[in-house]
Structure 1
């Protein structure tokens, strides 16, 4: 059994799924792929089944409805852990996460529990985004990390590698975010569990086919939820500084 499972959630990604699977197989030929399709009306699931029939290391998990990215990943994690994979990768189907950068993330996973592909560390970049989307993404990530006391820079990024032991320690049953907040929620659980989390710079590229599921309303809804988390004390608590002990002299 290969040690690595690359999880690719899909909803209406018919134009993108075959190219991305081909690129993943070329970049990490020893890995397995799990396509998690949320009953795409454009036939993505049918095409995924055809890819699985051609490649023994491509698997498909069909879900009955579009219930959110987080729910798709949580079901996929359960699927992968039950089959003994050592490392589980999250990545988008639309090409924004470059499969050619997977070997670098997996190499970092040799000494880390969680590896995050980061746009906002030195060496990271975003291509082909309009300025307003770039500003919204950076502001959302900064707001979340400050309010929740997270040390990582790209807290909303979705190109990640988790070790199986990390997922088992993160109490996934308590992750209740299904949408845009899912990545932030997962990071909170990882940091709380005392896991070693590292960020590796990546170049994020805007999709060329299909429509993005992201919108300003989705981001604002997520930021409202992060605000509630911060106000309710759900963020990471930093240890209080201890005052130096006073000393007295007698002479």
Structure 2
């Protein structure tokens, strides 16, 4: 089996051994914003460690003052995995999604930045696929998409599916970003690309992800996609509401005018 894998990778110009050597040379910083994720965060971290055991990585959790005891669970996880592998970088209150990533970036030591949600809607099993895609293509950004073959959504009602799909179709029509899923928040960035793009982003909430990918496209960054299945959260409540949808529409108009 190992020999077969080596032959297959040789067809793409690399042996399995050379890919493993490249893995060791790169470090991945996974930034996970949290707010009231006490029931989810332990399983997320367990799955990250399970699926990335062949890679060098750290997890940076940016908690915005969760009142449900999320930080207590994270501190227990630090006792299990080590404070150098699970970093808690808390903030006193909710300050916006975009600023959470920027805060996490300041504490990241990796060559690549991975962003993902803490509610198990982004399964860590896809992380190796993101990394392999970046290695194979040299992409600056690899983004998970629900809207290509082998991708999808489970657990949403029809209204939520139509809202998400409609938001993406509208953005595709007006902005032409060159990717199929603008509102997704499961991505891998080359660190320099992430630093460059986030420095020009003004959005802080729900529209942040769309602005990041649109500006990346306008700057000419190489973007690749990996199909993922998005699963609605099991524990806790969604942060998406009417105000976020209104913010999205305002952000869409802003990007149409400024990019």
TM-score, normalization by structure 2: 0.84
Q: CA deviation at 1:147?
A: 1.3
Tell me the secondary structure at the aligned position of residue 89 of structure 2: strand
Describe how 1:27-42 pairs up with structure 2 within 5 A: 27-29=51-53, 30=55, 31-42=57-68
Between 114-123 and 25-34, the greater mean CA deviation after superposition: 25-34
**Structure 1 residue 78 corresponds to structure 2 residue 102:** no
Deviation at 1:63, TM superposition (A): 0.8
CA distance in 1, matches of 2:26, 2:40: 24
Which residue number in structure 2 is paired with residue 3 of structure 1? 27
Which residue pairs with 2:222 in the alignment? 196
Equivalent residue runs for 1:114-129 within 5 Å: 114-129=141-156
2:43 to 16, 19, 22: 19
CA shift digits 1:161-200 (9 cap, x unpaired): 0011212332x22211110110011112211221100111
Could you tell me whether the CA contact under 8 Å between 2:113 and 2:194 is conserved in 1? no
CA contact (8 A) 1:121 1:199 kept: no
Q: Residue in 2 aligned with 1:141? A: 168
Match of 2:81 in 1: 55
Aligned equivalents of 1:27, 1:45: Cα separation in 2: 23
Aligned-pair CA distance for 1:207: 0.7
Aligned residue-pair number: 229
Deviation at 1:227, TM superposition (A): 1.9
CA–CA distance in 2 between the matches of 1:69 and 1:175?
12
CA radius of gyration, larger in: 1
Unaligned runs of 5+ in 1: 236-251
Structure 1 partner of 2:184: 157
- Distance (whole Å) between structure 2 residues aligned to residue 79 and residue 196 of structure 1: 25
Q: How does 1:74-113 map to 2 (within 5 A)?
A: 74-80=102-108, 83=109, 85-110=110-135, 111-113=138-140
Q: CA deviation at 1:2?
A: 6.3
- Give the number of the structure whose residues are more often helix, by fraction: 2
Distance 1:34 1:21 in 2: 11
**Residues 1:167 and 2:171 are matched in the alignment:** no
How far apart, CA to CA, are the structure 2 residues paired with 1:109 and 1:175? 23
How far residue 222 of structure 1 moved from its aligned partner, in angstroms, is 1.1
Q: Structure 1: how far apart are the matches of 2:243 and 2:166? A: 14
Q: 1:62 is paired with a residue of what secondary structure? A: coil
- Structure-2 separation of matches of 1:207 and 1:155: 20
Residue by residue, what CA displacement relative to the aligned partner does 1:229-248 show, whole Å, maximum 9, x if unpaired? 31x2x23xxxxxxxxxxxxx
CA distance in 2, matches of 1:65, 1:221: 20
Distance 1:79 1:147 in 2: 36
TM-score computed with the length of structure 1 as normaliser: 0.87
Segments ≥4 residues shifted beyond 4 Å? none
| 1:144–1:223 CA contact under 8 A, matched in 2 | no
